[in-house]
Structure 1
């Protein structure tokens, strides 16, 4: 599909696109696994004697998370284990001067690329390639490396413009994510393939289920989508209570699709048999779905559901996860998500853990990533890969050598 770092050679002027987008609290950029993942690509380029210039984004205009990348330079440097210089400019005179002053093995991070007016509009690659942003920066480089798989579903200038004017290559994150996240379509497994589906974005999950049919033997549902399917099956769940706005609008948008999926694949769709809620004294309690009268939020699947799902996982050759089964940020309601992750970790199967929330649970509860075949740092791009949709930044990458 694309060439990788193995094809570049050495001693080049390389423009690298990373995704370092991170949580920001009180103006402080928080460390996350993206820095460690992308550091491998940057470090490999440094060791090959390249002059490395990094582009990345942070937040969106108008949001509190839309801040400078000056803190990102220090965080990235810790993982690359080499200094990362920062310039408060993207494609102006200061940036060009800083780029031209780089020596072999040095790294420079440009300012938040979304502060450039040319970056954010969704346009065809050809239009982005002709933007002032791309036309100004491209002549300063020998080639372009895209490592930002988690942003690959965006048709933004820094992602799709440069590959049309520079020889382009996939970084190690891009390479690993693409191979793992397309494996449902591109690999054959010697045994059942199971998908664990949850989270708050039920429409995304339903899109995945609609796009995949014969490839999946078992669907294990939880979270918002689990309740919506239970509602379609006749249980008193899957609607908003109090101030909630998670269920009813997604039910209205997807009711017909949910009922169709249950009718067509009911023997392959496993629904929760019990659910957890918070008692008046703040404790976790569980109740069978047959006995639920929803008067308060249901925050996790129950222990019987975890056991039932774990049995399916243990017999699976491959397991793909999209979304959490409960509100795992609260330790009382992490049993479903963590229990299933532990079952996957102890099963000899190919496993891909996708979606930002689910991968965050691995970190939060001290699970070892090495027990999974791949832990994705992508959200939207992961969903698009599973549903067979195009990823503009992947499709546009050139095939020529540097």
Structure 2
């Protein structure tokens, strides 16, 4: 570990804490999700240790329908912490500073959406962000800064990288556990087989993961859009845009040469689906072997097939470590959840080190009644998780390390 954690922080201080509470918003209502429960553990520990806590977080982007106040977030967070959480509709102005100065040990205050501040959003270097009015106004009112927002750590925003330049900085529990789990595939040594299940909709994610981890991973099990593009490169008539879909052709044109090279370079490590699922005329799930896909029909494949799950499962069960990035199909529709849920069940049933993450994939665990405790780590990060797997820098983490 190359940064300070809460274990290094003396109790009873005044701390400015950055969380990532960015959540779906439906009809103006902020939706509760796993991020609140995870961050609540950090806040609860700080309360129990008599810290005076002010919370920074963001929601949406300016102009978006989900760009709303954090007032609802404060109420949801309070439910998870089991402790009063106040809210002030200001981030670093007079109202915010007055509320901050009134904090006593055990108090928790949520400041207004950081992205409502002009200083927050532009991607700039930490030393530039440290000079903003945002950072300069808040920093003197606290003894320390705590960054718990691993899922936003790939953003060079003021609330994430500016404060560590001018204050003692520490990692919260979410930051600490996410960093350890998501870097494990690159930094830990495993005696047995290491398997990575890679799905999702972005071919570049799969390519970058393979390029960075090819020497660490014994088997890449592919699903999602990437699997179809790799099958297309092998000459199979799938992985093409159908109807209004625009997931395949543009990505294939941009990455064809790289995909072909990946198949040549990592061919013995790559396992592709043997069958695919699609919606039949009656609206039900139908499956078809990859070898039987006709060349003169446009079929929208929405999941890997049952035979593919049966081939992937033994590989997973024989592994010492399994990492899952991205869904294998459109799991939000139950009929096409077979691939994603099937591999999750295989991972859950296996006595291996396991990390699940990437976008919304972790949502499938709750949607289909799986137990999160059956996995070593379920990441709440999307972009940061991918960057960790591909070896890209996380500026929020680097700010803590420096």
TM score, norm. by length of structure 2 = 0.98
Counterpart in the other structure of 1:382: 385
Match of 1:306 among 306, 309, 314: 309
1:155 Cα deviation from its structure 2 partner: 0.4
User: Which stretches of structure 1, 4 residues or more, deviate above 6 A after TM superposition?
Assistant: none
Distance 2:29 2:126 in 1: 34
Distance 2:115 2:245 in 1: 33
Counterpart in the other structure of 1:357: 360
Distance 1:398 1:12 in 2: 21
State whether structure 2 residue 108 is matched by structure 1 residue 104: no
Match of 2:298 among 295, 303, 318: 295
Tell me, yes or no, if the aligned pair for 1:163 and 1:398 is still in contact at 8 Å: no
Distance 1:334 1:398 in 2: 40
Distance 1:357 1:52 in 2: 30
Distance 1:183 1:274 in 2: 32
Deviations 1:7-39 (A, max 9, x none): 111110100000000000000000000000000
Distance 2:126 2:369 in 1: 41
Counterpart in the other structure of 2:344: 341
Counterpart in the other structure of 2:192: 191
Tell me, yes or no, if the aligned pair for 1:154 and 1:392 is still in contact at 8 Å: yes
Tell me, yes or no, if the aligned pair for 1:192 and 1:217 is still in contact at 8 Å: yes
Counterpart in the other structure of 1:87: 88
Tell me, yes or no, if the aligned pair for 1:167 and 1:398 is still in contact at 8 Å: no
Structure 1: gaps (5+ residues): none
Counterpart in the other structure of 1:366: 369
Counterpart in the other structure of 1:321: 324
Tell me, yes or no, if the aligned pair for 2:186 and 2:213 is still in contact at 8 Å: no
More displaced stretch, 31-40 vs 357-366: 357-366
Counterpart in the other structure of 1:61: 62
1:124 Cα deviation from its structure 2 partner: 0.3
Distance 1:15 1:205 in 2: 37
State whether structure 2 residue 149 is matched by structure 1 residue 151: no
- How many residues were matched structurally? 399
Tell me, yes or no, if the aligned pair for 1:359 and 1:376 is still in contact at 8 Å: yes
Counterpart in the other structure of 1:174: 175
Tell me, yes or no, if the aligned pair for 1:242 and 1:296 is still in contact at 8 Å: no
| Aligned CA-pair RMSD | 0.8
Structure 2: gaps (5+ residues): none
Distance 2:203 2:373 in 1: 29
Distance 2:206 2:123 in 1: 24
Match of 1:396, SS state, is helix
State whether structure 2 residue 393 is matched by structure 1 residue 397: no
Distance 1:131 1:205 in 2: 37
1:278 Cα deviation from its structure 2 partner: 0.4
Distance 2:206 2:237 in 1: 21
1:398 Cα deviation from its structure 2 partner: 5.6
Distance 1:145 1:83 in 2: 20
Tell me, yes or no, if the aligned pair for 1:169 and 1:398 is still in contact at 8 Å: no
Tell me, yes or no, if the aligned pair for 1:54 and 1:109 is still in contact at 8 Å: yes
TM score, norm. by length of structure 1 = 0.98
Report the CA distance shift for 1:328/1:86 in structure 2 as closer, same or farther (over 3 A): same
1:296 Cα deviation from its structure 2 partner: 2.6
Output aligned runs, 1:226-305, within 5 Å: 226-293=227-294, 294-305=297-308
1:132 Cα deviation from its structure 2 partner: 0.5
Deviations 1:359-394 (A, max 9, x none): 011111111011001000001101111111111010
Tell me, yes or no, if the aligned pair for 1:164 and 1:398 is still in contact at 8 Å: no
1:190 Cα deviation from its structure 2 partner: 1.5
Match of 1:97, SS state, is helix
Distance 1:23 1:196 in 2: 26
Distance 2:401 2:391 in 1: 21
Distance 1:348 1:11 in 2: 40
Distance 1:152 1:108 in 2: 22
1:356 Cα deviation from its structure 2 partner: 2.7
